[in-house]
Structure formats: structure tokens, C-alpha cells
Amino acid sequence: MFRSPTRTSNGQRGLRVLIACGLVLTSGFIAEGIGVQDRGRHAVNLDAVLLAYRAGDFGVVARTFTRSPDFHRALAGDGLRLEQWLGTWEPGKALLVLDLADVSTTVAPQYTRTLLGVGRRYVTNHAMVARQVPLHATFVRDWHRTAIALLQGGAASAAVDDYLDELRRHPAAEAFTDVRLTLARAIAHEQRCWHSRPSLLQDGRDVRDLIAASGARIRDEARRDRRRRLDAHQTCLVQLLASFEAAAGTPNTSAEAQVRSAWTLVQLGRAEDALHWLDRADSGADRELAYWASLFRGRALDALARHRESAEAYRAALSTHPRAQTAGVGLSLALFRSDGVDEADRLARTLRASSGTPGDDPWWTYLQGDRRFVAGWMARLREALP
């Protein structure tokens, strides 16, 4: 059923799409995106969606579920219906589940985890069958990478951990060994540290004096709680360094692990060490990674009061992503702290006046891990379909 990728002519593919669409139209399928008016009368016909999908109409999933989010029908019984429909191994079905999950992240995020859970069981249970052809191993690896990236996009670190734990517990666990997943687990850890940041990280004399003088009353138990949370956060970050170390030893993930380690070190107040890690990291052609590396270099230099150098680091970040607001903020603040007050003010005004999209600034997707690779990985998986 699963074959090496073969090329079809545009004419052949167009004909297949036409036939598939016709079947969807006559099936009573809820698909206002392709003109059917009887919304809500019938349950989702996944066979029809699959047919169109296999014919090369990959947009059918987004059209169907974005405009008529009918995930609750497809997932009745915690995905049991979908699981029953999947049945025997077919890569096209596995890929369709990924597309469903991708669409769900924007229109019905409460279903993403369920969809990927069903998909994971489907892929892992048939993994040995799939691996009988060498190409299938790549397909399975990319499938899991993409699934985890979609979970990361939802900033659900617990879901990533659960997914990875399920893979590890599987009898064929060795089949799923992938250093990218080691990095994914570290990033899930990073998310937990980030979201547990305590307030008033500056537990120094300045802040204490200012708060006391301002008349704010911080009860002793609140102080103790803050101290406890500060300690827990520091411990989280120290353990995170070890998690990244595991991913730093492999060429494919070492640069990203080093850059993320550097950011962890900045948060731990070890700016010099962070610079050392950044000097070692080679971002290669990865533009997002290059941006993050420059951004964190700027932050490390700021922490060392080397504001002129940090300005240069932020300029380097802007050279890869000229519309990135966060690097612009960094540059403005560095200029403000290094005799460039007028330029800092001009830049701040420009930044606030600019419109932007999430894609402009990789800082906004930093904690979403491999979400940035999903489009490319999905394209590669689709290429592998017959």
C-alpha cells in the first residue's frame, strides 16, 4: 500500500482531484468549502476526505474543518471513531491525521492532543510493518517529529512529555530513537521552567528597599513562598542545562541545544558562560537559530553592561529578521543605555508604529520548539505518499 514517491503529471493529478471532489460532493459530507449546503445533516465522511486527500487535494482537511469545525463528530468517544476508521496501515491516513491535528491547533485546540494520541497509536502499532521498507522508517520518524512539533506549538509541555513517555514504553521503542526527540523533551522542560518564573526575580536589596519604602506589605509567608519559588526555578534551570547537554552531543541538534543552553545561562545570571556557548554554536543556514543566538548574545552583553556590544548583537539579529520587534526593542534599550538616546527614541517610535505578523519575529515562536519545521516536514511526508 505504501510505495516510494512517484511523480504524476498535473493532468493525472487534476483528474484524480476532480473525481475525489465529486465523490465528496455526492457523499453528503459536510463541506461548505466545496459547496455542499446540507450542513449538519450527516456525520463527517472521512473516507471521502481521504479520497480527495490521496488524490493530492491536501487542502481538503483545512477547508472542511476550518469552516465547519466538526472535530467533535470525528472524535466521538475520545477518538474511538477515528481509531476504528484508521484500521489497517496506510500512510495516507497517518498523514491525514497530522493534517487534522494541524488544523485543530487553530480552530479546536482541545482536540489536538486526542488526535495525535490516536495517530501515535496508529503509527506505532504499525511501525514494524512500515519499517519493512527502508523509506518507511524515515516516514515514521518524520511523523513523530511533526506530531511532537504540533504539540509544542500548543505550548503544552505535559502533552509532549506524555507523548515521549508513550513512545519510550512501546515494545518497539528502539524504532523511534531520534535525537530530535531528545531535544523536544528538553524544550518541554524549558517551557515548564519558563512558565514557573517567579515574580520579583531580583530578590536583591534594591527591590526590597524600594518595596518597603513604597509601603507595600509583603507578608513573611509571601516572602518565604517567593524564596521557595526562586529556588525551585533555579533548580529547574540547572536541570534544564543537563537536558540540553544530552542533545548537544549530536550534530543535528547541537547548535540549537547550545543556543538554548546559552539562554538558560542568561536566566541563571551566568552571562559570561552564555557567551562562551554562543561562540561555539554554529547556526549554519538556520535563520531562526541565528536570530535567537544574536538575541541571546545581546541579552548576555546587556547583563554585563556592555551595551555598545549588545547593540551590535541586536543589529545582527535584525539582519536576519529586519521586522522582528523584539530585537528592535533590544537595540533601542541598548542605545538608550549607551549615549544613543535620540536614536533609541526614534527606533522605539518606529517599532511601535510598525504592523507585524507572528512570522516576523522568531522570539515569539522560540518556546514552540520545532513548530517552525512543521510545514517543511509535512511537505516531505506528502512527497512520500504514492
Residue whose CB is less far from another protein, 111 or 363: 363
What minimum distance in Å lies between the beta carbon of 321 and another protein?
13
Smallest distance from another protein to CB 319, Å? 17
CB of 343 to another protein, least distance (A): 10
Q: Shortest approach of another protein to residue 105 CB, angstroms? A: 13
Specify the residue, 169 or 219, whose C-beta has the smaller distance to another protein.
219
Q: Are 326 and 295 in contact (CB under 8 A)?
A: yes
Taking the C-alpha atoms of residue 315 and residue 308, their distance in angstroms, rounded to an integer, is 11
Which residue's CB is nearer to another protein, number 82 or number 347?
347
15: left (phi over 0), alpha (psi -120 to 50) or beta: alpha
Least CB distance to another protein at residue 353 (A): 5
Based on CB atoms, which residue is closest to another protein, 34 or 230? Answer: 230
- Smallest separation, CB 183 to another protein (Å): 21
We find the least distance from the C-beta atom of residue 270 to another protein, in angstroms, to be 14
Which residue number, 243 or 332, has a Cβ lying nearer to another protein?
Answer: 332
Would you call 217 exposed, middle or buried from its count of C-beta atoms within 10 A (0-12, 13-18, 19+)? exposed
Chain centroid to CA 132: 30
CB closer to another protein out of 285 and 353: 353
Q: Supply the minimum distance, in Å, between the C-beta of residue 336 and another protein.
A: 5
Determine the residue type at 305.
A
Residue closer to another protein, measured from CB, 3 or 195: 195
Neighbours of 293 (CB within 10 A): 28
CB of 55 to another protein, least distance (A): 35
Closer residue to another protein (CB): 56 or 340: 340
**Over 70-112, what HEC string results?**
CHHHHCCCCCHHHHHHHCCCCHHHHHHHHHHHHHHHHHCHHHH
Residue number, 43 or 304, with CB nearest to another protein = 304
State which residue, 117 or 328, has the beta carbon closest to another protein. Answer: 328
Cβ 261 to another protein, closest distance in Å? 17
Q: Which residues contact another protein (rule: CB under 8 A)?
A: 194-195, 198-202, 204-207, 209-211, 213-219, 222, 226, 295, 299, 302, 304-305, 307, 325-326, 329-330, 332-333, 336-339, 341-342, 344-345, 348-349, 351-353, 355-356, 358, 363-364
Measured in degrees and rounded to the nearest 5, phi and psi for residue 38 equal -85, 55
